[in-house]
Structures are given as structure tokens and as C-alpha cells.
Homo-oligomer: A and B are copies of this chain.
Amino acid sequence: MSERVVVIGGDAAGMAAASQARRLKKAGELEIVVFERGHFTSYSACGIPYWVGGDVGDRDDLIARTPAEHRERGIDLRLRTEALEIDVPGRRVRARDLESGDETWTGYDKLVIATGAAPIRPPLPGIDAAGVHGVQTLDDGQELIDSLDSARGREAVVVGAGYIGVEMAEALINRGFRVTMINRGSEPMSTLDPDMGVLIRKAMQGMGISVIGDTEVTGLRTDGEGRVRAVGTGAAEYPADIVVLGLGVHPATDLARAAGLPLGAYGGLLTDRAMRVRGHENIWAGGDCVEVLDLMSGAERHIPLGTHANKHGQIIGSGVGGDYATFPGVVGTAVSKVCDLEVARTGLRERDARAAGLQYVTVVIESTSRAGYFPDAAPMTVKMLAERRTGRLLGVQIVGREGAGKRIDIAAVALTAGMTVEQMISLDLGYAPPFSPVWDPVLVAARKALTAVRQHP
């Protein structure tokens, strides 16, 4: 007898789950129904800034697998269909066809919630005006590009200075806009400590982006046609033909909340190790709508990232298909390109370590991505946190140029393995002059951190 799984959400986590389940169970064993509100499936939201900026030429390049390809694999994919209600005791989902307006209930044996995240839109005057854009879905990206093409002037304001804000500021510069970035914090990229964030601000300013820190947006001024004209901060007003919101996202869990499913402090669904919603053996959740265990602090966090969503989907699909896989948690690794800088981080910032009750030493070193004498050897800065006394690695932040960013993976694996900075010093890393100084910059930081640990018993 065939079972039915209903998947709510057709991007990375949802479609990876559906695909993996289909690999494990044939159509006669498992019926797979996917509801997707938008027009697209399995796309790279992380690629949207590069599409807007022109590095990626075509929207369809961002689509890993089309609806037709999914359907060919025996997945009943229903686009432009919005899930409205989950009836947990009744094991059914109410959904609306956004074209026809028809609503139907669909029963399930197993349910996968992959509703993603939504950009934070603070309740400010003018926030919903034409020309104000979030950048979360491919539909959002298409709207933004259409809006850029029809913009009356070339003034853009980016509100927020996280990854998306910073990437979008660069994309808009590449599109020929004058860009102002307004940031609540003192420095861009609050995922880094401010002493590293300052390096990013300087690079952005160097390419002509106006970076306004320590500033809250108080409202957006619109014209008679309801189109945004300026962004106000109380003290000042910045002209704006386009506004991009880069204030982060929150988990899209209204459906889950209404269904009484367990949510965490950040509003994300809480799951067990197998990505099942806690207390529900037949409901899974993954991707940007869940909270994940931060292995460094021991607490849940909301980290919307395509790489996690894909892993979650794979694990959920294994569980739905009767196989076994688990997600142990994250160490908080992220990497980004800002102008010609590569920016990366993993583990705890200083404030995270303090909040987790950890005492630490911190060091900052300057080195180069290649042997110092090699052509194109470029400076890179590494900040490292190690636990007081034990010397256990707690976190690393890197700002540099070509070849700097992915070095964060050394630290990410070392964090996962629970290594001390003294153990790290002996790591047998790849060395040759085009790739590294004889002491890799991460090891230089580890050496200095060990000295600091020994000086602060």
C-alpha cells in the first residue's frame, strides 16, 4: 500500500527531501506531493546578489532543477500553490491554488515543512512602497531587477549590513547605482567582531559605497504614486530610487505556529537529530524555517544558509524514505566576497563566547595567502579565539584577498573535532609557495593563541 508524503515548500530543503525520498522509494511505494507558493523550485537564493550584480547572466542559471525535471522523477509538484493550514491530528494540509483560488485538503502519512524564511520588514512608514525590495526568493530577485530597469534615478539605499546587504550594495554599484548602506551596528557584518568588520567598511568605502553606521532608519518617504523617494534616519534623509532590505530574515513559521508545533527563541521550528519536529514522529522540518544546534555554544540558533538547507533535505528524505541519517549541528561557518575582500568566520565571536559563559583569549595576526615572495601574495588578517586554560579553539574570523576565505574550513573542521590551538599547530596542511607561507596563516594564529593561553592561566 502506498504512503503519501506532503512537502510544504519547493526550494532547497523541500526539493532535496523529495528527491532523496524518491531515490529510496518508488512511485508505487511513496506518493510525493510538493506545494510551492512561487514560480520556481530548487534555486540558489544565495546566487541572487550575483544575478542582480550581473556576474550571473541568466535567472535560469540559478535553478538547479526545474519543475519539469522534478515531475519527470515522479514528484507531484504543485507550483503557485500556497499551504494555508496544517491539521496535525487530522494529518492533512489545506492549500490554495493561487491561480484559480481553489482550496483543497490533502491528507498525508508524512509531512515535511520547508517553508523557508522571510526578510524582516520593520513596521516603518513607507516600508511597503514600490521600489522597496527584499531579496529572499527568486521571485523577489526578478521583481528587483525589473524595478532597477525602471528606476527613475540612480540612487540606491541598502538598509542593513549583513551578508545580503553587503553583497547587494556591491551588486548595485556594479549596476551603476550610487549606493548608501545604512547600518544599525558600528561596522558592517555583525557576524564578525567589530575589529574585523572595520576592514570590510574600509573596502566598501574604497569602492565608493557610502557606509552610515550606528544609525536606525525611521521611515521611508514616498511620492504621489506610492514609489519610494528617500530613506529617513531622523537626523538625515538619503535619496532613494531603490531600497533593498538586508535586515536579515526570520523563519517563515506562521503555519507551524498555528498548528501548535514547537518553535524556539528565534521563531524557528525545533527538531530532533533526525530533523523530525520535536514530539512528532511523522513530521520533519528543515532549511531556513528551523533552528539548528550550535555545537560551540550548546544553544539553538537560526542560521539560514543554502548549504544547511540542502543537508537537511538530504537527511529528511532519508528519514522519509526509511533510511537513517542525522544532523549533528553547526559550528557557524560562513564565507562571503565583498568587493575584492574574502570574509569568513566560524565558531564564536567575542560576544558569543561571553554569552555562553566561556572565558577566552583572542589574538589577531597578519600574514599572506601565499609565500610572501610569490607573485600576488596578498595580506590576510586572522582573528582567533581560544578557551582560557584548555586552549580549545572557539572561533576564527578571516578577512583577506584571493585564497583567504576558504581557509576558514581548516578551523571549521578543527572546531568540529574539538581541537586545542596546540593541536592545531601540528596540523599537516597543504604547503607550496603558490598556496601558503610555510606556516599557514591559520597556524600562525594558533601559535600566537597558544602563547596567549599560556600567559593567562
Contacts and interface: CB of A to CB of B under 8 A. Distances in A.
Given A413-B413, A419-B417, A431 B335 contact: yes
Contact of A438 (B307, B407, B417, B438): B307
A380 B374 CA distance: 24
A80 interface: no
B374 A435 contact: no
A310 B373 contact: no
Contacts of A430: 333-335, 344, 346, 405-406, 408-409, 412
B406 A61 contact: no
A336 interface: yes
A328 interface: yes
Interface in A405-455: 405-410, 412-414, 416-417, 419, 423, 425-436, 438-440
B403 A406 contact: yes
A224 interface: no
A44 interface: yes
Contacts of A408: 430
Interface in A268-306: 305-306
A427 B432 contact: no
A337 interface: yes
A50 to B, nearest CB: 6
Contact of A61 (B47, B373, B439): B373
A56 B336 CA distance: 30
Contacts of A336: 432
A373 B47 contact: yes
A326 B332 CA distance: 31
A406 B344 CA distance: 15
Which of A309, A328, A431, A440 has the most B CB atoms < 10 Å from its CB? A431
Contacts of A328: 426
Interface string A60-92: 011000000000000000000000000000000
A332 B430 CA distance: 9
Given A56-B373, A373-B56, A375-B55, A435 B412 contact: no
Nearest to A61: B373
Closest 9 CB pairs of A and B: A335-B430, A417-B417, A307-B431, A61-B373, A413-B413, A337-B434, A330-B428, A333-B428, A310-B438
